Structure formats: C-alpha cells, structure tokens
C-alpha cells in the first residue's frame, strides 16, 4: 500500500514543462496574469488562457479556480491566490493552507490524479520559505491521509534554495 509520503514528489525545475493532470498557478486576485510563475504559465499557455480567466470574476486569497491548459502540456490549470506576507499576524498561514487545500479539493472534484504546485507566495508575495514549505507539505499530507482521490502531488521548485528547504522537511518524519 502506498503511504501518503509515497504520493509526494519534489522536483527542481520549471512547472510549465510538466506533464501531469494539472499544474497550480500562484496568481493574483484579478486572475489576469502577472510576473513569476503566473507570467510563465500564461506565456506558455497562450492568449486563450487569459480569455478564459477573464470569465472567472477574479479569485480571493485562499480560493482556487480551474481552467483548461491550452498550449501547456497539462489539460488543466488550477489558479489560486496566496497571501501577501505582512508579518504573519494577518491570517497568512490559514490563507496559504487554504490555497493548497482548496486546490486539492477542486482537483479531486475534477478527478485529477496528478497535480503539481509551485511554492505559492514565496516570490513576489515574500512569504518566509521555511514556514511556507511546512504549510505546503503539512496540508498535502493531511489531504492525502484523509482521501485516496489524488495519486501524486509534486512540488516543483525552480530555485535550489527552496528545493533544499522542502527536501529537508520531507526527509524529516512528518
């Protein structure tokens, strides 16, 4: 039987190159594109992604919405909006956990089996990496323990620094 950690993988690289059922975008509340991983996803998906995003009416921090993947290798993109870090006393941890939880719930609803996440909020939104990585891993583990709907969660980290933080946390008994 697979344990929940057999279902979690780490990968160093560019999430737009991944061939899974869905990749998650670290978007902003407008869902109309931006820099970082959001910019990379929109560039790789092409203009039809923006067109579909326009119809979604934005997204609040912690929520998740789904679109098709267009020119990306994936059939689906799940767009979520992380919290902007502002010291840690403004509900940032709960909002970040909600991003992972609601993305996984939405994926399960759509019968998505493999899903890849970037390090949500760890770029322009300045969330401290170690804390954000802990929330990402804990929320994925909790979800995978409670449900069999998702086969694989891949955390795709573009920088070596963030990759190492995740790796150390994953190696530690959860």
Stretch that binds ligand AR6, among 52-60, 118-126, 139-147, 165-173 (CB under 6 A): 118-126
Q: Does position 6 bind ligand AR6 by CB under 6 A?
A: no
Sites for ligand AR6 among residues 85-114 (CB under 6 A)? none
Q: Please, what sign has the CA dihedral across residues 9, 15, 18, 22?
A: positive
Q: Does position 77 bind ligand AR6 by CB under 6 A?
A: no
Q: Does position 159 bind ligand AR6 by CB under 6 A?
A: yes
In 3D space, the residue among 101, 144, 107, 171 whose CA is nearest the CA of residue 4 turns out to be 144
Nearest distance in Å: CB 114, ligand AR6:
16
Say how far apart CA 117 and CA 11 lie, in whole Å.
10
Say how far apart CA 37 and CA 14 lie, in whole Å.
9
In 3D space, the residue among 81, 87, 97 whose CA is nearest the CA of residue 141 turns out to be 97
Binding-site ranges for ligand AR6 (CB under 6 A): 14-16, 26-28, 34-38, 40, 82, 118-125, 156, 158-159, 162
């Amino acid at each position: 039987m697979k344990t929940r950690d057999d279902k979690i993988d780490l990968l160093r690289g560019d999430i737009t190159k991944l061939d899974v059922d869905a990749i998650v975008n670290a978007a902003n509340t407008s869902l109309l594109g931006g820099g970082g991983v959001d910019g990379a996803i929109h560039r790789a998906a092409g203009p039809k992604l923006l067109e579909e995003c326009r119809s979604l009416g934005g997204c609040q921090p912690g929520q998740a919405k789904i679109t098709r993947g267009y020119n990306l290798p994936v059939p689906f993109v799940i767009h979520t909006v992380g919290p902007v870090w502002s010291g840690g006393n403004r509900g940032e941890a709960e909002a970040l956990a909600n991003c992972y939880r609601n993305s996984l719930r939405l994926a399960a609803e759509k019968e998505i089996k493999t899903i890849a996440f970037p390090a949500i909020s760890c770029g322009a939104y300045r969330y401290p990496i170690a804390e954000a990585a802990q929330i990402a891993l804990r929320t994925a583990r909790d979800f995978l323990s409670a449900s069999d709907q998702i086969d694989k969660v891949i955390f795709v980290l573009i920088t070596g620094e963030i990759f190492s933080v995740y790796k150390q946390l994953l190696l530690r008994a959860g």
